A and B are shown apart, each in its own frame.
Chain A
Amino acid sequence: DAKTTQPTSMDCAEGRAANLPCNHSTISGNEYVYWYRQIHSQGPQYIIHGLKNNETNEMASLIITEDRKSSTLILPHATLRDTAVYYCIVRGRGAGGTSYGKLTFGQGTILTVHP
């Protein structure tokens, strides 16, 4: 699986958009980009994933560059409860084309949302 690079920490004002970048320059054509977040002392929570098109759900938007070498997770209106560690993960399909493939977590980005 491709390695990802994220900033160690970021700050965001409450109510503003939080834009979390991720570099994955060695991504291959069949690898997806996933985002998870982990609030202190809890299990990680799935946020969103994408292959090459931009994606949006009720939690966030994912913007993937045309060359797929980087992506940005956007929290449109950050709240204090969005303070967490955000993990960007690149993963291919598992054996037999399933989505079982292992997730490899790096250090992530510590996002702090302040009043």
Chain B
Amino acid sequence: DGGITQSPKYLFRKEGQNVTLSCEQNLNHDAMYWYRQDPGQGLRLIYYSQIVNDFQKGDIAEGYSVSREKKESFPLTVTSAQKNPTAFYLCASSIADRHGYTFGSGTRLTVV
């Protein structure tokens, strides 16, 4: 079955360490997105990519980096520059001729 996979589901890191969250999709979607969600809050857009080797900053890109070397993959690196990295991270993808996004099941990152 086609879908979007995020791994791992739970991730713990020490403060000051960079960490990379994986997002893979086999839906043949062109666009991919990363969102962050804090407790009791809505989703905020970090980065998005409409095509391979191209991506744009979202509303809260500081302290994050991404790459889009393959259509299927859009990894997110949370760097030590991100002041409050503990959050629930969601990856999504979409295709041009459809309106709905498909979301992954998320990665819950805890920095201690």
Contacts and interface: CB of A to CB of B under 8 A. Distances in A.
A98 B45 contact: no
Contact of B106 (A43, A100, A105, A108): A43
A32 to B, nearest CB: 7
A21 to B, nearest CB: 17
Nearest to A103: B101
A107 B43 contact: no
Contacts of A87: 42
Given A100-B50, A102-B58, A104-B45, A43 B92 contact: yes
Contacts of B99: 32, 34, 46, 49, 99
A101 B77 CA distance: 23
Given A105-B43, A108-B42, A45 B96 contact: no
B98 A99 contact: yes
A84 to B, nearest CB: 13
Contact of B48 (A44, A45, A99, A102): A102
Nearest to B31: A100
A16 B52 CA distance: 46
B70 to A, nearest CB: 18
B90 A44 contact: yes
A81 B51 CA distance: 36
A40 B59 CA distance: 24
Q: A-B pairs with the 6 shortest C-beta distances?
A: A43-B103, A46-B100, A105-B42, A105-B43, A98-B96, A100-B31
Interface of A: 32, 34, 36, 41-46, 49, 87, 94-95, 98-100, 102-108
Interface of B: 30-31, 33, 35, 41-45, 48, 50, 58-59, 88, 90, 92, 94, 96-106, 108
28 contacts: A34-B100, A36-B101, A41-B88, A41-B108, A42-B106, A43-B90, A43-B103, A43-B105, A44-B43, A44-B90, A44-B92, A45-B103, A46-B99, A46-B102, A49-B99, A95-B50, A99-B96, A99-B97, A100-B30, A100-B31, A100-B50, A102-B33, A102-B48, A102-B58, A103-B45, A105-B35, A106-B42, A108-B42
